[in-house]
Each structure stands twice: as structure tokens, then as C-alpha cells.
Chains A and B, each alone.
Chain A
């Protein structure tokens, strides 16, 4: 049995679909491809396939990952060309590599994700870049950012997501948009925070009187795993 890890980008035309839609899309593409797929045993056999981290609706991405098990040896190059023929253009399969069969599953390796948010150009909030920067400073200075989560037995509980914002900073992009917001957020099984929530909190801190809700374009730059207490891009070694 082979385990293949693959890297792909999701471009704008496909950004509107959910994680479950993405799962189905890949599963059906794999089934069409004729690759020697492996299914789990049992009553409801399912394809042995994973995506590293759910990609939220309305977010594009440049470095996403998936993994699939195959019953026969297929070279990474052959895998890429075979699967690519079954994927829509906006889902750009870039490369693949053979992985250690015994390594922990791809989703369990993910600990953080880097997002880039660009405020749209029209009908936008009128706040200037200095106001945005000050708002972000205020947000990051907070010790607690509470988010309401429904726990078991429908009990409402508050979780402090401030520690999940590892880093957040503005970069002057130079071209059409004056500002780009970068957010390095904890993600994966040990908890995380949605980039949309961080933006929402930032807008609250901004407290701009124009009432124009900004239209943010959100992009996920990369995913990270934990390597001896340091963040290492999931693409390492590919």
C-alpha cells in the first residue's frame, strides 16, 4: 500500500464551496481517475482520503494538502497527472510525494495556518491605515477575546481565543490595496480560531463611524506542523 500526500491551490472561482463539498469533489475525482483506491472495511466502506485542514467558504488558498492511500505503487508524478485530469481548473494540483505509511494522519499534523486578508476596494470602510493599525494593536493587547461555543448538553460556554492568535500584523502591499492583514492562527485538533472571527473583532475595535462593512478577500497562505516546538510548513520535504 502507498500513501500519497499532495499539494494544491484553490483559486477564486471555487472559493464558495464548503469543506464537505471539497471532500466530495476530491472523492469523486479520485473515483473517476481510475487510481487504485483503498476503502475502509466494514458496513459503510469509505475512501481512505483526508484533507489536512478544512478550508472555510469564501477563502482561496495557495498551499493546501491532502492524502490518499493506494493499493498499488503509483509514482507521485503519475499520481499528479492522473488526478489533475479530473479536477476543475480552479483546483490546481501542484505536486505529490510518497509518505511514510506509519506517520500520523495529515489532519493531526496541522497546528497552525497563515491567512492573508485584503480589504476590498469599493463601498469600503473609510478608515485609514493608521486607524487599522491602532485597532489591531488594541486587539492584540487584549488578554481575553471570548467566543461563545455550544458544548455538550447544549451548554453555552466561553472560550478565550486570544492565545490562538499567534501573530497578526499589517503589511503595506504597495499595489491596489493599501493594507494586507496577515494572521497566523492556531488550527487543528488542539483548537483554533476562525480568521473571520478575528476580522470581526478587528472591525469592532476599529469602531469606524462610516457603517460600511468592509469586503475582505481572504486567502490561506500556508499550513504548519510542529517540529521540535517550531512551526514548519507542511510543504517541507515535498
Chain B
């Protein structure tokens, strides 16, 4: 067993939740570094308890470590108290398994899950003593790679990364590590090595491309190296059943956000909601077989002792014959005292029936995401559920004894009017009355409202985000509507963080300078309200001479070169255009789609 380095140990008694930094959890891999050919650290740019809730991290950890000749360790962003001590004591960022500094590994891979973690990426590189800019990294420094959803538009991060891995990497990452080991023998230097890597499908080496801007617009993406691929295709797992998946995931000592066994039912989503990036970048839908799901569930429960099992996917109740699967799981886990749950429930009676059958214990709250409160707007975003369906489904849930609902909405969606915003409160009001008549008891409703962020690789990728003052005005309409509604709990996302998210979600390489400034000005954990500072960000934009509004509120034309147009998520531009036109009823063919 690793004995935590004395230096680290000396800091731990002074920090909150020291177990964030100690590793050694049950089911964690402990590999002797001697004799291992390729060593990688998976760095998650957020706190331990957030990163350890990420299923992708657990899958990759399994996929690499099951191969004896390579290893993957983990590192997370230290909280502010720990960072301060590490800097004061000159202690570099270390990997949890071995306590070794990140700089001693061959590869440092960042999981890029959300834009607001980008400053943490820079901070972690800095804490690790790794050169921030890929172009300045020496031969002995690790390669820095990024993957995950934000790798589908990684341009704002381009100068800080040696390469990105596009798409699902549980199958290709171990292959790539093996290649890397082979290339290291033959490639004379880092540059050559990266050129070789760029020949692999899914590998995007940003230094091989040079963007050309004209009048604030991206005009061209020139290939620095003529051998570089013109388009980088994402990697895709063909068969989930044979792809690596952890039977014995690491069990954190600390309580994490999702502290449970997770079996993925299927990857991708066939719904095609027009705002949803996951719905497009994870296409096509690939299912895990029923036998494999039951087998994995049984193994995970036996090897973890978890008391809860989540059947995860983007829209769980779309799994065919889910009721039969649930019966089988019931039999397989009989007597184990395991609670099962189905996240991402659709708002229909079938889903509610299934959620209810799975459920054990007190029927507290069910969560749904209608996203928009009027049928018209729901058709625009292709979240096709009728008001009648909502009432029937929630009515069924109340009959089954559920105590309350959490409902997710978005404001600022394309075509949204003040009426659509006010409709959120009106819908909740009607639901309240309906529940009162139906149940005769108090049904709690809590409403969470986020702001629409246009994302790359979605039909709304060309759409602007609403200007900040307008978002604020619509939030006021929202609050006004809920003012006289006791018992309904309203919360909404901070407009400024959504603004920042929009800037980077469709950003280009010019934003890298902003990120670097923001990091130097002390921006960290920007998705955490207690750390977020818009004034620091404003200063970063000023220093880099960039107007953030130009990015967030930009409307792209179909002919514009998008900063991510060389990255192929597997969905043709024509599909996005067709979906975009359908949303706004721009073609006569689609009449009736929108009222």
C-alpha cells in the first residue's frame, strides 16, 4: 500500500475533506510503476467528489488499467484551501494512486465535461509544473490530451493541448497508448510523435492547423502540415457489450454526488432535442444487451456493496422492453436490498409506471425536464410532449403516492416570447390546482430554470444567446409569475455563468488568451457560485481585447466557417440545417410542425 508522501500528509490535517487527496479507495488500482510501459493520469478539472461521479472516468480507468502493460492514475482539482497550501509548500499536483507528480507521467489526460472548468485545467497544469502552452513543452514533459464533450469544440483550449481525442475513447485510448509506446521508439521528437498520432482516427492535433481570421470572423483553417487530415472523425464504440465497462468501480470514501452503482443501458439518444449536444455527439443509439446489463448489475453490487443502482442513459425509458429488464433485475438482485433508479425520465405515463415499479421506499420526488412550458416552444426544440401528456403522467405519479416533483425549464430558447416565459409559472399554477383536486394533499413542486446556451454540433449551433440584460429581464418575468405561488420553490441559474458558457461553447482560438488571463487573475471553479467572479472575467476579456458578446450573441450563417467545422461528430451539416429550418418552420414542407 502506498504510504502518503510525508509532505502531502503534513498538509492534510489543515484542509477540508482531506480524503479528497488520499486515494487508496476500495477497488482502486495499485500498480507498480516499474516495468509499466505507458503511464497516464486522468485529470478531472473539478473536485474529487464531482469527478468521481463521472461515469466516463470510471470507464476509462477500467479500460486502461485492465491492460497489464499500461496504467492510469487519477488527479482532481484541489479545493482552494489545498491549492493554497500546495503552492506555499511548493508541492506539485500529484496522482492519487502513487502520489507521484503529474509531470512524471507520459500522458496527462483532461476530462472536458463543461466549459466552466477550463480555468481549472490551466490551474492544474500550472500546479503540476507542466508548461501551459503545448508549443513550449520540452521533450521530457508529458503529452497533454483532452477528451469528453468539450473536445467537440476545444478551440479555446487549443494552445494548451498537444492533442484531443474526439468521441468515445474506452476502446481507442488503450490502443493509442500502445501506439504511443511504439512511436516513442521511432519518432525523433515530440513534433514527429504528434504528427504520427494525428494519423489515428479521432486524434486532433491543433498545432497542425492555423486559423485565419478576417473582420472578427474565421475565414479559413489552414493546414500547417499538409499531411494533417482535413476532417477529424470521432471515435465510436460499435458494440457496448464488448467494450470495457467496470464491474468493480472505485468506491470513494467520501460521499460523492452520484455515490452508487451505475449500469449504462444505452449510449446516444434518438430523440434529437435541438438544444441538446449529448443527443447529437453520442449518436447513433447503441444498446447494451439485457443479459449484459443484468450481469454487470449483479457484478457491481457484489463487488462494491452499493445499496443503490442507477440504470443510466440519456433517456432511460426508451430502452426497448424495459419492463422485462426490470423484472429480470428484480430477480437477479432479490434479497440484496438494492434500490434501483431510472434517471432522465420522460414525462409520460409509461415512464412513470416503470419508475414506480422500480422504486422501493418512500415516494419522495420525481424529476422531469419539460424544458419549455408551451406546446409551441416545445415543438421548436423538438421536445414533443403535449400538455395533456404532462397532466396525465404527473397525475398518475400523484396517484401512485409520489410527494412532489422537480421540473427543469430553460429560458432564452430561440423564438421564446414573454408569454412563453410567463407560461412556466402558469403551468405550475395549473398543476398545483390539478393536484389539489386530485390528491387532496400537498404536492411539492420545485422549478429550476436555466438559460439556453447554444452548443456546437446541434441544430441551434447558429443561434445567438440572448443578451445578458434581456436574460435578466426574462428572469424577472419568471420571478413575478411565481411570486404569489406559495409551496412552489423556484430557482434559476445565474445568467452570467450561462453567458460565459455560451462564449466558450462556440468559441475559437482567440479565446485562449482570455482563458490564460482569467487563470492568472485567479479564476477557478467558475461553475461554483462561491468562486465565480464576473468582474475578474470582464477584466480578462479586456486584457485580451475580446468582446465576449461577439461570441455569445453571434448569429452564424449557414455559409460561415464554424470554429469546429473540421471536427466531425458523425452528423452531417445538412441534418443540422434541416433541423434548424424545421425549428423555425422555414420550409413549407414542414408546415404544421410549428403552430
Contacts and interface: CB of A to CB of B under 8 A. Distances in A.
A25 B10 contact: no
Contacts of A43: 361-362
A21 B13 contact: no
B304 interface: yes
Interface in B391-423: none
Contacts of A44: 361-362
A215 B362 contact: no
B1 A17 contact: no
A16 B12 contact: yes
B254 interface: yes
B227 interface: no
A24 interface: yes
B255 A21 contact: yes
Contact of B305 (A13, A16, A17, A32): A32
B4 interface: yes
Nearest to B10: A215
Contacts of A45: 337
Given A13-B4, A31-B307, A45-B337, A20 B19 contact: no
Interface in A144-185: none
Nearest to A29: B305
A122 B255 contact: no
B564 interface: no
Tell which of A16, A32, A57, A58 has the most Cβ of chain B within 10 Å. Answer: A16
Nearest to B2: A13
A18 to B, nearest CB: 8
Contacts of B22: 13, 16
B18 interface: yes
Contacts of A21: 19, 253-255
A28 B1 contact: no
Interface string A8-49: 000011101110110011011111100000010001110000
A14 B254 CA distance: 12
Given A16-B18, A45-B337, A215-B10, A24 B255 contact: yes
Contacts of B24: 13-14, 88, 90
Nearest to B21: A16
Contacts of A122: 10
A182 B315 CA distance: 58
Nearest to B307: A31
Contacts of A32: 302-305
B306 interface: yes
Contacts, number: 68
Contacts of A137: none
Interface in B274-309: 302-307
B362 A17 contact: no
Contacts of A27: 305, 307
A89 interface: yes
Contact of B1 (A57, A90, A120): A90
Interface string B499-525: 000000000000000000000000000
B472 to A, nearest CB: 34
A17 B13 contact: no
Contacts of B4: 13
Interface string A82-97: 0000101110000000
Interface string B228-246: 0000000000000000000
Contacts of B302: 32
Contacts of B10: 120, 122, 215
A57 B253 CA distance: 12
A58 B306 contact: no
A157 to B, nearest CB: 26
B558 interface: no
Contacts of A17: 19, 253-254
A29 B24 CA distance: 15
B337 A215 contact: no
B3 interface: yes
B251 interface: yes
Contacts of B18: 16, 57-58
Contacts of B26: 25, 28-29, 88
B253 A28 contact: no
B1 A13 contact: yes
Contacts of B305: 27-32, 86
A159 to B, nearest CB: 25
Tell which of B3, B4, B26, B362 has the most Cβ of chain A within 10 Å. Answer: B26
A131 B303 CA distance: 53
Interface in B58-114: none
A127 B292 CA distance: 64
Contacts of B253: 14, 16-17, 21, 24-25
Contacts of A120: 10
Contacts of B13: 58, 215
Nearest to A213: B14
Contacts of B12: 16, 58
Contacts of B362: 43-44
Nearest to A218: B13
Contacts of A16: 12, 18-19, 22, 253
Contacts of A58: 12-13, 18
Tell which of A27, A32, A43, A215 has the most Cβ of chain B within 10 Å. Answer: A32
Tell which of B4, B13, B255 has the most Cβ of chain A within 10 Å. Answer: B13
B89 to A, nearest CB: 10
Nearest to A30: B305
Nearest to A33: B305
B338 to A, nearest CB: 9
A17 B4 CA distance: 14
A89 B26 CA distance: 10
A102 to B, nearest CB: 25
List of 8 A-B pairs having minimum Cβ-Cβ separation, nearest first = A28-B305, A31-B305, A16-B18, A32-B305, A17-B253, A16-B19, A21-B253, A17-B19
Given A14-B24, A21-B254, A58-B13, 20 more contacts: A13-B24, A16-B12, A16-B18, A16-B19, A20-B255, A21-B19, A21-B255, A24-B253, A27-B305, A28-B26, A28-B306, A28-B307, A29-B305, A31-B305, A31-B337, A58-B12, A86-B305, A89-B1, A90-B24, A122-B10
26 contacts: A12-B3, A13-B2, A13-B3, A16-B12, A16-B18, A17-B19, A21-B253, A21-B254, A24-B253, A24-B255, A25-B26, A27-B305, A28-B304, A28-B305, A29-B305, A31-B305, A31-B307, A32-B304, A43-B361, A44-B361, A44-B362, A58-B12, A89-B1, A90-B24, A122-B10, A215-B10
Interface of A: 12-14, 16-18, 20-21, 24-25, 27-32, 39, 43-45, 57-58, 86, 88-90, 120, 122, 215
